[in-house]
Amino acid sequence: MIRSPFTIEAACREDLEALPGIEREATSLFAGWPVPMEVLQEETSLQEFSAAQRAGRLWVARSQGGSAVGFALVDLIAGGPHLEEMDVLPSHGRQGIGRALVRTVLAWARASGYASLTLTTFRDVPWNAPFYARLGFLEVPPRELSPGLQERVREEAARGLDPRTRVVMSRSLRAPPGALLREGA
């Protein structure tokens, strides 16, 4: 039996201090891509991580040694789940950790009775929109954005993220019976 090199679980208070470091290291992957330096230097506050952890909307990926090597943070936009951030340490990349984190969030959202999960990401960065498309996320045309998602796009633009480089995506959680078994989500 092959043992997985990581586990995914709900974050605990003790994990919170490690998350900004994971976030900083993960942003190093954007070097050379058209991402404003100010955005690369942003960090999620410990208060935001703590609030999400208490609300059950923060998960961590742990190495076999127990260290946090990635995380997924969900926000609520107009009452619906939005994958606010998902980061994995570059040293642990390409091991399926990001995919496992997203699948964990999808399972939580589905079990919580939500109809879909949304996110915003970079359109052309290979480990962003194309990655999420492989997990069943579809682009939401601008004219179909909810008021809450329209506001999120405006907030991102005010922070310096060019809307032409960004995409809003959504994944339906209303799958036909057996579909989840076939896709492994």
pLDDT tens-digit readout, 7-61? 999 999 999 999 999 999 998 888 888 777 777 788 899 999 999 999 999 999 9
For residue range 20-33, list pLDDT tens digits in order: 999 999 988 888 88
CB 70 within 8 A of CB 44: no
User: In this predicted model, which residue has the larger pLDDT, 34 or 77?
Assistant: 77
At a CB cut-off of 8 Å and minimum separation 6, what does 77 contact?
118, 146, 148, 149, 151, 152
Burial of 3 (0-12, 13-18, 19+ CB in 10 A): exposed
Give me the chain's average pLDDT, please.
Answer: 89
CB 166 within 8 A of CB 153: yes
Tell me the Ramachandran region of residue 61: left when phi exceeds 0, alpha when psi lies from -120 to 50, beta otherwise. beta
Looking at residue 183, what is its pLDDT? 47
- Whether 115 shows a pLDDT value over 50: the answer reads yes
Q: Which residue has the tokens 């209303």?
A: 174
How much is the average pLDDT of 144-172? 93
Looking at residue 29, what is its pLDDT? 87
The whole-model pTM stands at 0.88
Looking at residue 65, what is its pLDDT? 85
User: In this predicted model, which residue has the larger pLDDT, 180 or 81?
Assistant: 81
Classify residue 142 by its DSSP letter.
G
Q: Has domain 6-183 been given CATH number 3.40.630.30?
A: yes
- Whether 180 shows a pLDDT value over 60: the answer reads no
Where do the domains of the chain lie?
6-183
